[in-house]
Amino acid sequence: MSTKDKKSSSYMDSFRFTQRLLIIFIFLIAPAGAASFEALNNSCINCHKSLSPFTDEQLRFNDIRLNHTERNITCSLECHEDIIRKKASDNFQQWSDSGHSSYSVTCDACHGGNPDLNTIEGAHSTMKNMSSPESPIYFKNIPETCGKCHATELDHFKNTMHYQRLRAESRAPSCVNCHQPHSFKVLEASEITPLCSVCHNAKDQVSTANVPKDAKFGLEKADELKEEIRKARDSISDAKAKGKDIVSSQNDLDKALAIMKDVPSLWHSFNLKDFDRQVQVGIDSAKKAQGKLVETEPTAPSVPGAGIILVLGIFAVLYLIRKR
């Protein structure tokens, strides 16, 4: 077989292999990704996954891009895509990337409606406009709506000034102020300061202007607790593999884990001093678990008068040299 034929044969083998992989992906792997949505048999999902309330906005920016291109005007596709991404973020896409999607918490859990009916009229028949006090997503009702699943967090939140003002004055933050609707993200420490500063600032003097800084510090400590727990787990795992006694260290780690489990509900009390105190107990417990497993290097036993013996030894050597 000529070199050319060998190359051609090798190319065909590679093509067939790639073709087989593509067939496997299409028939086995790709359907699995969509199965989580399809298996729900939920009219909310079946309908809204194909809809976007921002289609007109997307078309408008696309027209601008085409117009620029036809007139030979330099146009950054990345720029327009970024604008579309920011202004035309689809509610379904946000939900599908959220933790709610992972647990099959669908639209009806918050908005109401009947997900078993496939017509717009039927599915939406029991829904109320969000401006109606009867709607589950009316701003005053949002804590109770979220509390249907997040009961512990709601119990803690009800004891806060945020909740009291929300009920009495209608101008306090609720769940969706921190956890954006549809994405339901959990805020990082770096994101909390500008959010709290909307009300807690030197100008408005709501509570104290130190709140944003204290909140950021509290979330940073929660991150520290996670890291110390990870270190403690690694230390215990290594010690167990070496046959060491890990009972006491495991007890300390369990205490830290219990506090870590309570961090979300503790946070929703918005008692930052108590939050800081309890998280610190968890950090100390995790560090204690690690400390008990630290190996100490054996040290040579100390010999009394070792310095004197060394000096006498030197003199003895010098004496023997001179004597020779």
Residue bearing tokens 């599915």 = 123
Q: Is residue 241 situated within a structural domain?
A: yes
- What is the full DSSP assignment across 261-317? HHHHHHHTTT-HHHHHHHHHHHHHHHHHHHHTTPPPPP-PPP-TTHHHHHHHHHHHH
Q: Which two tokens stand for residue 271?
A: 């008692």
List the pLDDT tens digit at each of the 324 positions of the chain.
555 455 455 545 554 554 454 444 434 444 444 445 554 678 887 777 766 555 565 666 666 766 766 666 655 555 555 555 554 456 787 888 888 988 889 889 999 999 888 888 898 988 998 889 999 999 899 999 999 999 999 999 999 999 998 888 877 888 988 888 888 888 889 889 888 888 888 777 677 778 899 999 999 999 999 999 999 999 999 999 999 999 999 999 999 999 999 999 999 999 999 999 999 999 999 999 999 888 544 444 555 555 666 656 665 656 566 666
Residue 258 lies in a domain: yes
Among positive and negative, which fits the CA dihedral 146, 150, 155, 161? negative
And the tokens for 20?
A: 């087989």
Q: Is residue 229 part of a domain?
A: yes
Whether 159 is covered by a domain: the verdict is: no
Residue 267 belongs to some domain of the structure? yes
Number of domains making up the chain: 1
In a domain, 74, yes or no: no
Note down the domain range covering 235.
Answer: 211-291
Tokens at residue 263, please?
Answer: 């961090």
Instruction: Give CA–CA dist 9/4, Å, rounded.
Output: 9
